[in-house]
């Protein structure tokens, strides 16, 4: 069996293994002519992404990205997909209601790029949004740490002979 590259960190190996598993699952669906068939929980959702949503990970990511600078909906969706390497994707039917909810709660404020044409709406963090971002960072961290440990344990279990 090939040995794992000792120069690579456990986190890099974990991310690579997750990407490969996701790609393989997608490839299986293509090979059979069916779409990918992830394991699903209640309501037909993927249990991992469903739990990420229930644990307020998506609002945390949105507030985090907006805190770095004004952003618009499509940009936020692309950045989240990029940072999670496609493991967590967000569609417009999720993102835009969340942005409206955050704006209604006074956590972000939106301004049209060209108000006369209603093009892109750029969102900025408010002072209340900064406080909520800090609260979510603290509240969500234990869950994310648990997910990271679980993924590492799965990778170790499945690929232990490669280490």
Binning pLDDT at 50, 70 and 90, where does residue 54 land? confident
**Residue 149 and residue 25: Cα distance in Å, rounded?**
22
pLDDT higher than threshold 50 for residue 30: no
- Containing 112, the helix (H) or strand (E) segment is strand 108-112
Q: Write down the pLDDT at residue 46.
A: 65
Strand partners, 123: 71, 110
Instruction: Report pTM.
Output: 0.70
- Cα angle 47-140-46, degrees, rounded to a multiple of 5: 10
pLDDT higher than threshold 90 for residue 5: no
Which one, of 75, 69, 76, 61, lies nearest residue 124 by Cα? 69
Query: Stretch 43-70: mean pLDDT, rounded?
Result: 82
Q: Worst-scoring range by mean pLDDT, 22-31, 52-61, 136-145?
A: 22-31
Structural domain boundaries in the chain? 42-162
Q: Write down the pLDDT at residue 55.
A: 82
Query: Stretch 101-105: mean pLDDT, rounded?
Result: 98
Answer whether CATH 1.10.287.1060 is correct for domain 42-162: no
């Amino acid at each position: 069996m090939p040995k794992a590259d000792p120069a690579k960190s456990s986190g890099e190996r974990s991310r690579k293994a997750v990407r490969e598993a996701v790609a393989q699952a997608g490839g299986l669906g293509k090979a059979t002519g069916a779409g990918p068939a992830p394991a699903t929980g209640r309501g037909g959702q993927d249990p991992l992404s469903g739990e990420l949503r229930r644990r307020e990970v998506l609002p945390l990511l949105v507030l985090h990205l907006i805190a770095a600078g004004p952003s618009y909906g499509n940009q936020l969706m692309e950045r989240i997909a990029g940072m999670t390497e496609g493991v967590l994707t967000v569609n417009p039917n999720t993102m835009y209601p969340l942005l409206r909810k955050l704006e209604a709660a006074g956590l972000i404020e939106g301004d049209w790029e060209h108000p006369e044409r209603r093009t892109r709406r750029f969102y900025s963090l408010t002072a209340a949004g900064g406080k909520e971002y800090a609260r979510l960072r603290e509240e969500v961290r234990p869950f994310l740490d648990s997910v990271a440990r679980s993924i590492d344990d799965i990778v170790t279990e499945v690929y232990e002979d490669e280490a």
